[in-house]
Copies of this chain bind each other. A is one copy, B any other.
Amino acid sequence: MLKIDIIGTGNVGTHLCRAFADKADVVAVSSRLLSGLRHDSDIYLISVTDDAIRQVAHNIAGRIPSSAILAHTSGTTPMDALDGCAAKTGVFYPLQTFSKNVGLRYDEIPFFIEGSDPETASLLKSAASAVSVTVREMDSQNRQDLHIASVFSCNFINHLWALAAEYLADKGIDFNLLHPLIRETVNKIGRVAPYDAQTGPAVRHDTLTIDRHLEKLGDDSELSGVYRLLTDSIMNHHPREASGGDKTIQ
């Protein structure tokens, strides 16, 4: 059974410990104390904020066996941030949104692996495969592309919901009324590409509705700014000539 030390007890580290609980011999190690660090593990996973990875890696260097793999779990930090800290380095990136108190199905989380040599990549892939059905090798450049896309696809959309919820709360309207709409919006992209699933006033170039909305949002410069930018972007991507008859909106 693989021995894995997970350094960092934030959301990602906590979930990785749970994911490996019955798949590997795993321990959680505080990134500040490093007191629980074992001296004979196969893999050391650094799961801390991006700006702390280098420092933690340097603190660990020399305290792990020369045969061990030192890897981090970041989407955006390149693998070479670990250079000089171990002979075998890698990346072990689970693409998911983690909150400590929200349970997850780990087998559905895609893992993206990088290794400083083929053998290292192979061992990290087999570790990830113990947890998930989707494991891929990906270099640091493409992993960063994926991370950027995940910011658009997860973090930004969640914030748009937060803005909508705040706007509705101010009017005494329950945000939960939007849940069926949101669920269906997500259901659609499982069946058609998001570009083809676009609905709404912008894709219809319905300037009457857009002007009414902007008039209503007039006092709120933040919401107006977001509304204008995303409406213009939709219009640019869906020129009027290309708008099909099958694009309607509520």
Contacts and interface: CB of A to CB of B under 8 A. Distances in A.
Interface of A: 10-12, 49-51, 73-76, 93-102, 104, 108-110, 134, 136, 142, 144-168, 171-173, 175, 177-186, 188-195, 197-204, 206, 208-209, 212-213, 216-217, 222-223, 225-227, 229-230, 233-234, 236-237, 245-250
A109 B146 contact: no
Contacts of A109: 180
A153 B199 CA distance: 12
Count of this chain's copies in the oligomeric assembly: 2
B153 A161 contact: yes
A199 B148 contact: no
B233 A11 contact: no
B152 A163 contact: yes
Contacts of A157: 156-157, 160-161, 182, 185
Contacts of A108: 180
A30 to B, nearest CB: 13
5 contacts: A10-B245, A49-B206, A156-B200, A157-B161, A159-B230
B96 A181 contact: yes
Contacts of A247: 11
Contacts of A193: 162, 165, 175
Given A152-B163, A152-B164, A159-B230, 5 more contacts: A96-B250, A97-B197, A104-B184, A109-B180, A153-B185
Nearest to A246: B100
Given A153-B164, A188-B97, A180 B248 contact: no
Given A110-B177, A142-B173, A153-B161, A75 B250 contact: yes
- Mostly, the A contact residues are helix
Contacts of A197: 97, 99, 158
A114 to B, nearest CB: 14
Contacts of A110: 177, 180
A189 B182 contact: yes
B194 A158 contact: yes
A223 to B, nearest CB: 8
Contacts of A226: 152, 156, 229-230, 233
A146 B190 contact: no
A54 to B, nearest CB: 10
Given A102-B188, A144-B212, A250-B98, A182 B162 contact: no
